[in-house]
Structure 1
Amino acid sequence: NEVRGIQRARFLNAINLSVYLAAPRIILFACFMAYVLTGNLLTAKAVFITMALFNTLRTTLMTRFAYAIAQWAELTVSCSRIQTFLELREMEPKTYNTKDFDDLAAFPKTNAKPKVIVNNISAKWSEGSPYATIQNISFNIKPGDLLAVIGPVGSGKSSLIMSILNELPVLEGNIQTVGTISYASQEAWSFNNSVRNNILFGSEYDEHRYRQVVNVCALERDLQIFPFGDKTLVGEKGVSLSGGQKARITLARYGIHSTG
């Protein structure tokens, strides 16, 4: 279907271009024929004035009008997709976020209260699928904990993260989180700006916090290598980052935004 859609779009673009190139000459010929057939004498003056007038109108009538038709077709498709998305059935959230521990009910009575509570959740991406993507998962993450989720490809590691982020609908159980969650995706990315701005990403500069995050993310060595330290530009107009450097900068970005 996608190939057919692309073929149809290219075919219409070809027709559009052909009409744009051929229409002015056809219209001029038709005008001159009508002028002569109505008993008028076709002179060089009339020809040049008519051609100048049509060339003036050509950009507006041919180029802009044809472009507007093509854009209208794309606008219709975009609006249809937006409407389809807005008409989707609302998900019932089973991931709850609070700003304080005291807002959560049924907490285990421990000294170190968890930041994330996953309570016997099951989830799947498609409602029509007979099998759950993840099933009967429970764990608590307390401040300072390091939890590693390991497993073969397709076992549901990313799906578990997506369920905590409320991107994957939870069918059974519930997830409770306290405060904010920083998510570092597998695909590290950076934008064309300084290393510092890539890390801060709009946050206010707190030197103590900044140096702490840079140290934890093992970026100090990289900043020493860069010609201008953390003020070095990265991207098209600056230095090219290696995969490891980009990953460390991305991790530092989320470390800056984390409230701890």
Structure 2
Amino acid sequence: MESKDQRMKVMCEILRNMRILKLQGWEMKFLSKIMELRKTETGWLKKFLYTNAMSSFLFWSAPTFVSVVTFGACFLMGIPLESGKILPALATFRILQEPIYNLPDTISMMVQTKVSLDRIASFLRLHDLQSDVIERLPRGSSDTAIEIIDGNFSWDLSSLNPTLKDINLKVQHGMRVAVCGTVGSGKSSLLSCILGEVPKISGTVKLCGTKAYVAQSPWIQSGTIEENILFGKEMEREKYERILEVCSFRKDLYSSAIIFTVKHIFFLVCHVHKVMNIRI
């Protein structure tokens, strides 16, 4: 399972960033990495199947082997083999066959259950987000929207090198700020610090008012467009209309509505034509 997790993690990262791999020409390099992980996983699968085959053979042949050993020992010890002894013994062995056959599956199921419970337990034992990372100020109480003073943050508190070190940032209300840097320089980690998702080692983070975060990977709820826009909040028609106007979303809604209507009309015409042909 650990080998499978490593392979699935790499596969998800590759599929998520396929465009970058194509542009940089890194297909063969990552393919060799996947094949190496797959080779390790295949080795464990072979061991599992061989062990399963051996255990199945052992438990399927066990009743016959037990009968032969039992009656052979009786013969060598001089115990008379009478029908009154042989038939009850065979009946007993027959009764024990089913539990013996199911024993490997039971052991395998117990092992899988233990692995699943260990995974759930490790997930539940994860540390919660620190509630005191961000100092929240009421809306309108300060001219500063976001302020970080001597901030030191680390995803792993046990690591000696913090993820972000000596961060000082001050953003006023109405400002537009762009954070530029190379890949892996900590731009996303800085946003996570403002959200309060990165454990704080030292420093102060102040946030005045509310915040909204739009991730690089879009996430859409299973619902209507209106529900995705409101995102669980109460409907305020004036604010809702203003948001559609600011985001230039009306054209998309109108286009989607037109395409939806044309598609339904097309299917309706095809259905009517089919019915008429059937009647004719």
- What is the TM-score normalised by the length of structure 2? 0.55
State how 1:1-150 maps to structure 2 within 5 Å. Answer: 10=45, 13-14=48-49, 17-18=52-53, 21-33=56-68, 36-37=71-72, 39=81, 50=94, 54-55=97-98, 57=99, 61-76=103-118, 79=121, 83=125, 85-86=126-127, 93-102=132-141, 113-123=143-153, 127-129=159-161, 133-142=164-173, 144-150=174-180
> CA offset at residue 35 of structure 1?
6.2
Q: Is the 8 A contact 1:134 1:159 kept in 2?
A: no
Percentage of identical aligned residues:
18
Match of 2:215 in 1: 185
User: Residues 32 and 219 from structure 1, CA distance in 2 versus in 1: closer, same or farther, beyond 3 angstroms?
Assistant: farther
> CA offset at residue 184 of structure 1?
1.4
Match of 1:218 in 2: 248
SS in 2 for 1:168: coil
Alpha-carbon distance in structure 2 between the residues aligned to 1:28 and 1:146: 78
The one of 223, 227, 236 equivalent to 1:197 is 227
Structure with greater contact order relative to length (CA < 8 Å, sep ≥ 6): 1
1:141-199, Cα deviation, whole Å (9 max, x unpaired)? 31x43322233334432232122122334455412112332211111122444333333
User: Residues 140 and 227 from structure 1, CA distance in 2 versus in 1: closer, same or farther, beyond 3 angstroms?
Assistant: closer
Q: Is the 8 A contact 1:93 1:169 kept in 2?
A: no
> CA offset at residue 96 of structure 1?
0.9
Larger Cα-atom Rg: 2
> CA offset at residue 61 of structure 1?
3.7
Aligned residue pairs, count = 211
Alpha-carbon distance in structure 2 between the residues aligned to 1:58 and 1:213: 68
Match of 1:239 in 2: none
Amino acid of the structure 2 residue aligned with 1:188: P
Alpha-carbon distance in structure 1 between the residues aligned to 2:237 and 2:82: 85
> CA offset at residue 26 of structure 1?
2.0
Match of 2:271 in 1: none
SS in 2 for 1:175: strand
The one of 176, 188, 191 equivalent to 1:161 is 191
Q: Is the 8 A contact 2:148 2:204 kept in 1?
A: yes
Alpha-carbon distance in structure 1 between the residues aligned to 2:227 and 2:100: 48
Alpha-carbon distance in structure 2 between the residues aligned to 1:198 and 1:177: 25
Q: Is the 8 A contact 1:223 1:229 kept in 2?
A: no
Amino acid of the structure 1 residue aligned with 2:246: V
Alpha-carbon distance in structure 2 between the residues aligned to 1:95 and 1:6: 43
Q: Is the 8 A contact 1:149 1:157 kept in 2?
A: yes
SS in 2 for 1:147: coil
Alpha-carbon distance in structure 2 between the residues aligned to 1:60 and 1:213: 62
Structure number with the higher helix fraction is 2
Alpha-carbon distance in structure 2 between the residues aligned to 1:200 and 1:223: 16
Amino acid of the structure 2 residue aligned with 1:50: R
* Structure 1: stretches of 5+ with no match in the other structure: 108-112, 231-260
User: Residues 156 and 58 from structure 1, CA distance in 2 versus in 1: closer, same or farther, beyond 3 angstroms?
Assistant: same
Alpha-carbon distance in structure 2 between the residues aligned to 1:229 and 1:167: 41
Q: Is the 8 A contact 2:151 2:168 kept in 1?
A: yes
